Amino acid sequence: MPVEPGLFEAFYASAWQHPWLLWWAAALACRYAFRRHDRGSDVRRYAASLTVLSATDAWLTASPPYAIGPLPEAVSALVPLFFVLAGDFRFLLLLTSATDSGGIRPHTRSIASAAAFTLIVPVASQLLVSAVPGWGDKPRVLYLTYELLFLALALALRRVHPIAKKLRWVRSVCGFVALYYGLWALADLLILGTGSDLGFALRVVPNVLYYGGLIAAIAHFAPRLRAPSAV
């Protein structure tokens, strides 16, 4: 007999969590970013772009997406992968494009660098899971492997990337990303290790931080605009 999902697992799988809660998280974070008038226009533009990305992600990765119904089978596997990569790329592009004045100025080199960093964890996690017998057919083991590897990457970049070493606000954003990846990993360890329904309750927290919190964190940690010099 199939096992009935627990209360938190049922909520996690419901439309109340995905997409509705995630849409609200992104919208409130964008509102917060636009109310920070002491931050530069780059921050508000980036917040708007990330809000569109989060909202589209939550919509198209819901089961099923509102208004359009289930995606074609050929597309349904690619859409989540695209948004996982895009979700990591948005942070890595900030890391490679940030300025000491709080600007976010992507250029060819920073985009290429962010794209290269984005590929490290998905490739490494697939290789690692494929190399261990019995892991390849367990999706949550792949999730956990990905989460731990990206946690390590975020912490490593925080320490060694020249822009992060120079800019305190970028280090703070790196720490925020490490926080939600660490919480995801903790939740999946709880689910895999004990089967506890509380793991799904915990998983909601990093979901909210990922879809909305990062937008607000960028606006919060970005430096204030410098006051114009007196003539």
pLDDT tens profile 30-42: 999 999 999 999 9
How is residue 127 written in tokens? 């290789």
Residue 121 pLDDT greater than 90, yes or no? yes
First to last CA, the chain: 79
> Exposed, middle or buried, 67 (CB in 10 Å: 0-12/13-18/19+)?
exposed
Residue 64 pLDDT greater than 60, yes or no? yes
- Domain 7-221 in CATH 3.40.50? The answer is no
Residue 226: its pLDDT value, please? 75
The Cα 122–Cα 145 span in angstroms is 9
pLDDT tens profile 43-56: 999 999 999 999 99
Other C-beta atoms closer than 10 Å to the C-beta of 76 total 15
pLDDT tens profile 126-170: 999 999 887 777 899 999 999 999 999 999 999 999 999 999 999
Burial code of 181-191, b = ≥16 C-beta within 10 A, e = fewer?
bbbbbbbbbbb
Average the pLDDT over 215-221 and give the result: 98
pLDDT band for position 1 (50/70/90)? very low
Q: Looking at the DSSP assignment, which residues form a beta bridge with residue 104?
A: 98
Domain ranges of the chain: 7-221
